[in-house]
Structure 1
Amino acid sequence: MKIAKLTSSFTMLLMLTACVTINIYFPAAEAREAAEKIVDDILGDEVQKSIPGKDGQSLQWSPSAQQVSFSLLDLLIPAAHAAAKPDFSVNTPEVRRLQASMKRRNSSLHPYYQKGVIGFTHNALVGIRQLSAVSLKQRAQLKNLVKAENSDRNRLYKEIARANGHPEWEKDVRSVFGQTWIRKASKGWWYQDAGGSWVKK
Structure 2
Amino acid sequence: MKFKRYALLFACLALPVAAADSAKDSAKDAAKPAINLDIGAPTVIVVKHSLTQRTSRLVRFYEAGEIGLGHDGLIYLRDNSRMSLAKRQIAEKLIDAENPERRALIQALADSNHRRDAEPEIWELMRERWNKQWKSGWWLRDAQGKWSKKP
1:126 aligns with 2:75: yes
- TM-score by length of structure 2 reads 0.76
Taking structure 1 as reference, are residues 167 and 116 closer, same or farther at Cα in structure 2, changes over 3 Å only?
same
1:19 aligns with 2:28: yes
Report the 3-state secondary structure (helix = DSSP H, G, I; strand = E; otherwise coil) of the residue aligned with 1:131: coil
> After the TM superposition, which of the residue ranges 130-139 and 109-118 deviates more from structure 2?
130-139
CA distance in structure 2 between the aligned counterparts of 1:180 and 1:195, rounded to whole angstroms: 21
Give the equivalent residue in structure 1 for 2:111: 162
2:52 partner amino acid:
K
CA distance in structure 1 between the aligned counterparts of 2:120 and 2:127, rounded to whole angstroms: 10
Cα pair 1:26 1:169 within 8 Å, conserved = no
Give the equivalent residue in structure 2 for 1:189: 138
Taking structure 1 as reference, are residues 26 and 198 closer, same or farther at Cα in structure 2, changes over 3 Å only?
farther
Tell me, which stretches of 5 or more residues in structure 1 are unaligned?
A: 1-11, 35-89
- TM-score by length of structure 1 reads 0.58
1:96 aligns with 2:105: no
Report the 3-state secondary structure (helix = DSSP H, G, I; strand = E; otherwise coil) of the residue aligned with 1:174: helix
Which structure's CA Rg is the greater one?
2
Report the 3-state secondary structure (helix = DSSP H, G, I; strand = E; otherwise coil) of the residue aligned with 1:165: coil
Deviations 1:138-160 (A, max 9, x none): 22221111010101100001110
Instruction: Trace 1:11-160 onto structure 2 (pairs within 5 A).
Output: 15=24, 18-23=27-32, 26-27=34-35, 31=37, 34=38, 90-160=39-109
- 1:173 to partner: Cα distance: 1.1
2:93 partner amino acid:
N
What is the percent sequence identity of the aligned residues?
Answer: 28
Deviations 1:69-95 (A, max 9, x none): xxxxxxxxxxxxxxxxxxxxx211111
Tell me, which stretches of 5 or more residues in structure 2 are unaligned?
A: 1-20
Runs of 4+ in structure 1 off by over 6 angstroms are none
Taking structure 1 as reference, are residues 14 and 118 closer, same or farther at Cα in structure 2, changes over 3 Å only?
same
Give the equivalent residue in structure 1 for 2:148: 199
Paired residues in the alignment total 131
Report the 3-state secondary structure (helix = DSSP H, G, I; strand = E; otherwise coil) of the residue aligned with 1:120: strand
Report the 3-state secondary structure (helix = DSSP H, G, I; strand = E; otherwise coil) of the residue aligned with 2:81: helix
CA distance in structure 1 between the aligned counterparts of 2:25 and 2:114, rounded to whole angstroms: 19
User: RCO (CA 8 Å, sep 6+): is it higher in 1 or 2?
Assistant: 1
